[in-house]
Amino acid sequence: MPEISVVIPVYNAASFLQDTIDSVLCQTFRDFELLLLDDGSTDHSIEIIRSYSDPRICCIPCSHDFVGTVCRGYSQAKGKYIAQLDHDDLMMPKRLQIQYEFMEANPHIVACGGWMHNFGKTTHVSRYPLIHEQIVLNTLLHVPIVNPTGFVRKQFLLEHQIKHQREYSFCSDFKFWSEVAKRGRVANIPQILTLYRTSDEQATVKYLPGCNDIYQSIKFEMLEYLLSRQTNENQLINEQMQKLIPILMKLKKENFFSDHPFLRFMHELIGGLINKGLINVSL
């Protein structure tokens, strides 16, 4: 069995798919399988996949059903670890080696991600919090682990029955990594692991604006989770919080706050409570 399963859903990616595949095949870590799941492409993506003779590649034709295709890839993965990559992005040459060695050295960590260099329409480096407590807090604003750098223990997913959920549509990766972070310790590695292609055709540009309500609902689910982790370290502050939170939530419901400033405020508030040990998200 391979140590790592690399899962890449593919949909009409012919213009850049070869570069993506080559970036995986050029990894310094060699013990992996590459699952390329064609999500009902109407271009010649599947012909590009089938042109490769590398025995580590498995071509899996699927009907057009993005979340179902991702779930199929995860279920068919044979590796101890699953590494995620999008069909238009590129792995840095040592990505799998870096993440594999990190996870082997840290058995208490169930999943890890890393930083990305954005190229194409925009160019910059995306950096993310490194330790579990800050990563979980950051879900009030952003995804905890960015999908093109995601690396997770498959056994952990099986034990906790975590998978992508169709009702979250193109936000299913946000929900997926949030559920992982609720149930096990996660980390981000402070190295650029992925080159992230930015363009007008990428899914985050084409589809996510229409999923904004779902995206925000996941943040509020994480807010409820964080508030449920209050400790009994300071009875006075607990009593004050029990009065304050319902007031804030009512003001939000009455549209005194829009989502972004409200979640920003709660991010600062809960961050302070975590630092003082009044909310415990350690696992």
| Local confidence pLDDT in tens for the 283 residues of the chain | 999 999 999 999 999 999 999 999 999 999 999 999 999 999 999 999 999 999 999 999 999 999 999 999 999 999 999 999 999 999 999 999 999 999 999 999 999 999 999 998 889 999 999 999 999 999 999 999 999 999 999 999 999 999 999 999 889 999 999 999 999 999 999 999 999 998 766 555 555 666 788 999 999 999 999 988 988 776 766 777 777 778 887 877 778 788 888 899 899 999 998 998 889 998 8
| Residues, the chain | 283
Q: Quick check: is 283 in a domain? A: no
Same domain? 27 vs 115: yes
Same domain? 120 vs 234: no
Same domain? 123 vs 257: no
Same domain? 197 vs 234: no
Same domain? 266 vs 146: no
Domain that holds residue 169: 4-210
Q: How many CB atoms lie within 10 A of CB 200?
A: 8
Same domain? 133 vs 270: no
Same domain? 46 vs 117: yes
Same domain? 126 vs 195: yes
- Looking at residue 207, the DSSP 8-state letter turns out to be T
Same domain? 167 vs 236: no
Q: Quick check: is 18 in a domain? A: yes
- Report helix angle 66-76 to 172-183, nearest 10: 40
Same domain? 149 vs 203: yes
Identify the H or E element spanning 38: strand 32-39
Q: How many CB atoms lie within 10 A of CB 80?
A: 17
The helix/strand count (H/E) of the chain reads as 11, 9
CA 121 to chain centre: 22
Same domain? 206 vs 264: no
- With CA atoms as reference, report the closest residue to 87 among 174, 171, 202: 202
